[in-house]
Amino acid sequence: MRGKVAVIGVGMIKFGELFDKSLETMVQEAYLNCLNNVDKGIDPKEIKAAWFGQWSGGFIGQGAQSGQSLASFIGNRDIPVTRLENACPTGGDTFRHACLGVASGLYDVVLALGAEKMRDKPAAESLGGAGGGGGAETGNHPAWMIGQGGPAIQALHATRQIYELGHTM
């Protein structure tokens, strides 16, 4: 694939413990911020496909959102939506797949959007209950049970390898 890809708009919302906002509201705000950020404007109907990244929904009682839930949230049910789930790299993977959709020549305008509500439950339930996304070796790790995320677990593993195997940084 040799097609060129350009990011023409970006939208974000405030990060934080947004207990007063639903996932749907967060998605809609980010989407509208993105549309408003496009330099020369865009008709939402120009978006022909979307990729939706969400890792934790099914683990923390929100139910796993289908890709088509994104289409519903943004008011464009006529487009195909693919949901991606890949633990910590979910956002990057979502962006990469959207870029590939354009680079392949299949689409001209696409949407990549990710959303999580990981703090509506206590950390031990949301992160620990999810098994951490890192498989059996991290799912029962005490750090998960107190709400530490993937980077903290990987730092502990790296430190242990340096100690045991003499690796250097």
Order of strands across the sheet with 81-84? 81-84, 49-53, 110-114
Strand stretches in 78-127, DSSP E: 81-84, 110-114
> What is the SS3 string spanning 42-90?
CCHHHCCEEEEECCCCCCCCCCCCCHHHHHHHCCCCCCCEEEECCCCCH
The C-alpha atoms of residue 8 and residue 4 are separated, in whole angstroms, by 13
pLDDT in the model for residue 99: 97
Q: What is the pLDDT of residues 1-28, one digit of tens each?
A: 678 999 999 999 998 888 899 888 998 9
Residue 53: CB atoms within 10 A of its CB come to 24
CATH class of 23-114: alpha beta
Write the CB contacts of 93 (distance below 8 Å, at least 6 apart in sequence): 53, 84, 86
Residue 33, CA atoms < 13 Å, CB-side half-sphere: 12
The C-alpha atoms of residue 158 and residue 83 are separated, in whole angstroms, by 31
Both tokens of 110, joined, read 């696409």
pLDDT in the model for residue 136: 47
The segments of the chain whose pLDDT lies below 50 read: 128, 131-134, 136-137
From the list 36, 18, 76, the residue with the least C-alpha distance to 52 is 76
Domain ranges of the chain: 23-114, 123-165
Pairing type for strands 110-114 and 81-84 reads: unpaired
Both tokens of 30, joined, read 């980010």
Q: Indicate the pTM of the whole model.
A: 0.74
pLDDT in the model for residue 74: 85
